[in-house]
Structure 1
């Protein structure tokens, strides 16, 4: 009666029931009877977070309805296709972009003192460290100056982000705005340390602060692009970043990678959150 009164008060067309200690099968059955007799729809929230509907399947056991949650895709044809796309796409990209690489190397070298490439230790799949390549966008002593800027961090989590970071060079701002500073990571993809699509590769000091949930990000290879990059990048909060990464890890498919790569071009042109 209380449910029907609430439905009438809010003029609802559907009732969503969430799991709880007081919601046993018998009570739920009576609620469904009352709603269906009144011509109303009933939906039941299973309490699962960030699980794609593609992984859900309804079964019956002993006359009881069961919701089966399929495990994330980790074997078979799809991971093989991902590996082939990664290696072949990255190798082709290095060949086609070699003239652009040369132009960016010259611009960086003439723009500020120091090497054109920047190598940084990152953490990859299963917590294995690797050296990630980027075009240098900061002054040569940027890492040493990071501690003095810690109070200016604009990210609410473990990542360090500043919209107006004084360490970034003039050429570096353009490279970051267009995401071209990430292109040398094609070398990491060919080497097998990274994927074209995946979570952002974290720094060792970030991983050292991870809890059990955040460590789940390391279940797959990090990517050059991913849900984080096409959803706002540095404008996202730490919780939003983790949520997107876990969504990718648990619900990955080959078609989702293709979709992310297609949406990456639009995100690069838009430039939102790139700094």
Structure 2
């Protein structure tokens, strides 16, 4: 990971001369998204069969899939898909606990797995292995997300990007991205803003391929996954 001060300076310099991505790049990126999405669903099809079976046991009973409103390209709202790793109505239950919800907000919109009462036993395994993210291949095929891009955020998180919000929302959110391969849950705001914007200002096919490669490495090593 780059030195944070240097990265922040790089982001500021890049922001002064943002270049629109070329039509060729966007076309090739979409082709890669479609091919990658189809291959991903085919490769992990056994997981899509096994996980629903596991959901019938223990504290996992409930819907297999979880969907949540996220903010996409140009501010368009969409539902992100995941394998459910939490109890039913987890968001409502979290907001009912004012102390815990405040801690969640203050801690960069996350809680330590050990103290998060929403996560099921199966959910902890899914998160640690990043298997909970697999349904997002569906979002990629629908064109709501790309294989690579800034991670889609909930409405409350947009304030973290301040005057750079429109830049952040100028590209499609990704199943993986520069923030994820640079630490993911180990890197919170405001450092996350610099990482996400670094990608926005420097997006290229080479950068995308590099991020995809590093994603595979991080998943195998289980880096930054909560």
Band the TM-score falls in, shorter-chain normalisation: 0.7 to 0.9
More strand by share: 1
Match of 1:201 in 2: 152
Match of 2:110 in 1: 160
Aligned equivalents of 2:94, 2:35: Cα separation in 1: 36
Larger relative contact order (Cα-Cα within 8 Å, sequence gap ≥ 6): 2
CA contact (8 A) 1:72 1:252 kept: no
CA contact (8 A) 2:181 2:211 kept: yes
Taking the TM superposition and a 5 Å limit, the aligned residue runs for 1:144-223 are 144-147=92-95, 148=97, 149-153=100-104, 156-157=107-108, 159-164=109-114, 165-207=116-158, 210-223=161-174
- The structure with the largest alpha-carbon Rg is 1
Match for residue 224 of structure 1 among 172, 175, 188: 175
Q: What are the ranges of 5 or more consecutive residues in structure 1 without an aligned counterpart?
A: 1-44, 56-68
Residues 119/177 of structure 1: CA separation in 2 closer, same or farther (3 Å cut): same
Match for residue 83 of structure 2 among 120, 135, 149: 135
Match for residue 233 of structure 1 among 184, 192, 198: 184
Match of 1:258 in 2: 209
Match of 2:63 in 1: 115
Q: CA deviation at 1:71?
A: 3.9
Match of 2:222 in 1: 271
Match for residue 193 of structure 2 among 242, 247, 251: 242
Q: CA deviation at 1:248?
A: 0.3
Q: CA deviation at 1:109?
A: 3.1
Match of 2:31 in 1: 84
Q: CA deviation at 1:185?
A: 0.3
Match of 1:28 in 2: none
User: Normalized against structure 1, the TM-score is what?
Assistant: 0.72
**Over aligned residues, Cα RMSD in angstroms?**
2.3
**Number of residues paired by the alignment?**
214
More helix by share: 2
Q: CA deviation at 1:206?
A: 2.3
Match for residue 126 of structure 1 among 74, 94, 97: 74
Aligned equivalents of 1:172, 1:48: Cα separation in 2: 38
Residues 83/51 of structure 1: CA separation in 2 closer, same or farther (3 Å cut): farther
3-state SS of paired residue (2:66): strand
